[in-house]
Amino acid sequence: MPFLKINDEGKFKFFFFFIYNNFLFIDGTNSEVCLALYRKSLKSKEMDHGGTHFDGQYPHVFVTLGASGDLARKKIYPTLWWLYRDNLLPVNTIFYGYARSKTSIEEIKTKCKPYMKVKNNEEERFEKFWTLNHYVTGGYDSRTDFEKLNQELSAFEKGPVANRLFYLALPPSVFEPVTVHIRNSCMAQKGWTRIIIEKPFGRDSASSQKLSDHLASLFTEQQIYRIDHYLGKEMVQNLMTLRFGNRIFNPTWNRDNIASIQICFKEPFGTQGRGGYFDEFGIIRDIMQNHLLQILTLVAMEKPASCHPDDIRNEKVKVLRCIKAIDRKDVVLGQYVGSPDGEGDAKLGYLDDPTVPEGSVTPTYALAALHINNERWDGVPFILKCGKALNERKAEVRVQFKDVPGDIFDGKPKRNELVIRVQPGEALYVKMMVKTPGMAFDMEETELDLTYGHRYANVKLPDAYERLILDVFCGSQMHFVRSDELSEAWRIFTPLLHKIESEKIKPIPYV
C-alpha cells in the first residue's frame, strides 16, 4: 500500500501497492499527519489495485461472533475502536456482537475498556463508538437465532449497497454450524460478505482438509479470510521490501552465501492458567506450524510476478511444496519445570498448572530444522524455535552468512548476520566486522542498526490486527492464508504431531 514518492517539485504522489501495509515515514511528522495520509490514500482512485477496493461511503456491518469471549474482549473490540478513533473505517459502519451469553453492550464495554488504551481527550469519541454497537443473544446451532440476527442487520441496511463482515472469534467445535447458518440466513443481499476465521485451522491434515472442504462448499476462497496476526506485524510485512527492493541483499540471498536461517519466538511466561487450552494443541500447533512457517515462506520465496496477493501466495506455496515432512531426528522437544530458586511464576512448572492434565507430555518448547529442496536453498537449514517460560520475550529472524573465504585475519572475523526483530521493538540490524579505532590493526564486531523506535520516533505503527481487519474491509488477501497454503503446512507437520502423540514422546525438562 501506500508508499510515498516525492517528485522533483516536492509534491506527494501516491501509489498503491497494498492497503495499510507499508507506512509513510517522514522525519518530524506526528501521528495525526500520518493518519491524514492514510485516510487520503484510502480514497485514492489508485486504491483499486491487486484485488483491493475501499467502499468508504457505503454501509458496512461488522459482526463479532463470540462477542463475550476472551479474543473479542482483548483484541477485536479494541482494534475496531482504534480504527474508528482514527477515522480509518467506512463512515457508515456499525458493529454487532453475537454470543450465547445473556450480556449487554454496557457489560462488554466495561470488560473491554482496560484493553482499549483510551486517552483522556478521547472519552467523548469512545462513548460515540459504543452507541454504534449492538448485541444479539443467540445459539450457534439455531437457525432461528441467526434469522433474528439477519433481521437486525437488514434494518440498518437502507441504501442500495451494504456489505457484511463476520469475525468467527469462536472455538473450532462450532465453526461448521455457524458458517452453515451464516450462509443460509445472514448473507448480504446488497453487497459482499466476508468471513474472518481465527486459528486453529484444524489439528492435522485430515481435520484441516475437512474444515477447508466445508468452507469451500459454502463460500468462495475470495470470501474467506484465515487470519494469522503475525502476518500483520510491521517487520514481517517488511520482508518483501527488504528482499526484493534492495540490490544489496538479493544477490546474496542463497545457498552460496547463507549458512543458516533461524526463526525464533520466545515468551518469558508459562501458560498462566490457560494450560487446558494449550495442552490440547501444544507449542508446535500454537506457534510453529502457523506463525513461524509463514515467516519462513516470506524469507525463502522467489520474487513474485507482481505484488498482486495471489502472485505472492503462489510463491509461498511453492516454497512449502519443496519442504519434506519433518523427521523426528531433526526436532528437539522440551517442557518447562519450576525453578527452586525462582520467584513467583518461575517456581511453577507446566505440570503445576491445575488446568493441565496430570502427567502431560505436551511440549512447551520445540526446535525443528527444516530443509527446502530447491536450487536456492539446498543444504541451508531453516531452524525454527519457539517456547514458553524462556529467558526473554522476543521474535526474530536471524540470517547467518558463511565465513569469509580466503581469510587473511587469522580467524578473527565473526560471521555476518542480518537480524530482523519482529518484537519487541521492531528493528533491523546487520552484524559486521570493522577495524577498532586507534593505531593497532585490530577488529571488532559492530552493528548497522535500524531500530524503528529511534528512526521513526514520531510515526504511529498500528497493531497487527488493525492492519489485517482493515485489509478485510479493502478486500486484500495478501496477508491471509489460502487453502492450498494451509494444506501444505499441515502436510509438513502432521506426521511428526501424530508420532509425538501416539508414542507419548517425553520432552526434555528445562527450568
Q: Are residues 166 and 253 in the same domain?
A: no
Does the pLDDT of residue 50 top 70, yes or no? no
Q: Are residues 193 and 260 in the same domain?
A: no
pLDDT grade for 423, boundaries at 50, 70 and 90:
confident
Cβ atoms of residues 430 and 447 within 8 Å: yes
Whole-prediction pTM: 0.84
Does the pLDDT of residue 227 top 90, yes or no? no
Residue 457 lies in a domain: yes
Residue type, 136: V
Residue 42 lies in a domain: no
Residue 244 lies in a domain: yes
Residue 220 lies in a domain: no
Cβ atoms of residues 271 and 350 within 8 Å: yes
Q: Are residues 312 and 405 in the same domain?
A: yes
- pLDDT at residue 117 in the model: 87
CATH number for 238: 3.30.360.10
Q: Are residues 193 and 236 in the same domain?
A: no
Q: Are residues 286 and 419 in the same domain?
A: yes
Q: Are residues 118 and 251 in the same domain?
A: no
Cis check: omega of the bond before 363, within 30 degrees of 0: no
Cβ atoms of residues 266 and 386 within 8 Å: yes
Of 218 and 451, the one with more pLDDT: 218
Nearest Cα residue to 226 out of 268, 191, 195, 266: 195
* Number of H-type helices and E-type strands within the chain: 15, 17
**What is the SS3 assignment for 427?**
strand
CATH number for 181: 3.40.50.720
- pLDDT at residue 506 in the model: 93
Residue 411 lies in a domain: yes
Residues 6+ apart with CB under 8 A from 199: 226, 227, 228, 290
Pairing verdict, β 381-387 and 365-371:
antiparallel
Nearest Cα residue to 186 out of 207, 163, 159, 209: 163
List residues with catalytic annotation: 291
DSSP 379: T
Nearest Cα residue to 227 out of 62, 49, 464: 464
The beta strand positions in 275-391, using DSSP E, are: 331-336, 365-371, 381-387
Each residue's pLDDT tens digit, 426-457: 888 888 878 888 877 787 777 777 776 677 66
The mean predicted confidence, pLDDT, of the chain is 84
Residues 6+ apart with CB under 8 A from 77: 64, 67, 108, 112, 115, 116
Q: Are residues 177 and 259 in the same domain?
A: no
Does the pLDDT of residue 49 top 80, yes or no? no
Q: Are residues 265 and 177 in the same domain?
A: no
- pLDDT at residue 33 in the model: 61
User: For residues 125 and 121, what is the distance between their CA atoms, to the nearest angstrom?
Assistant: 9
Mean pLDDT, rounded, for 45-74: 77
Residue 150 lies in a domain: yes
39-48, 379-388, 445-454, 485-494, range with the lowest pLDDT: 39-48
Q: Are residues 303 and 399 in the same domain?
A: yes
Residue 164 lies in a domain: yes
Each residue's pLDDT tens digit, 84-139: 998 888 888 999 999 998 988 999 999 998 998 888 888 889 999 999 999 999 99
Q: Are residues 174 and 316 in the same domain?
A: no
User: For residues 468 and 482, what is the distance between their CA atoms, to the nearest angstrom?
Assistant: 15
pLDDT grade for 29, boundaries at 50, 70 and 90:
very low
Each residue's pLDDT tens digit, 296-354: 999 999 999 888 888 889 999 999 999 999 999 999 999 999 888 878 788 888 898 88
User: For residues 164 and 59, what is the distance between their CA atoms, to the nearest angstrom?
Assistant: 9
Structural domain harbouring 339:
231-509
Domains: count for the chain:
2
Residue 166 lies in a domain: yes
E strand or H helix at 491: helix 483-503
Q: The C-alpha cell of 45 is what?
A: 482512485
Residues 6+ apart with CB under 8 A from 124: none
Q: Where does a domain end: 198, 223, 247? A: 198
DSSP 47: G
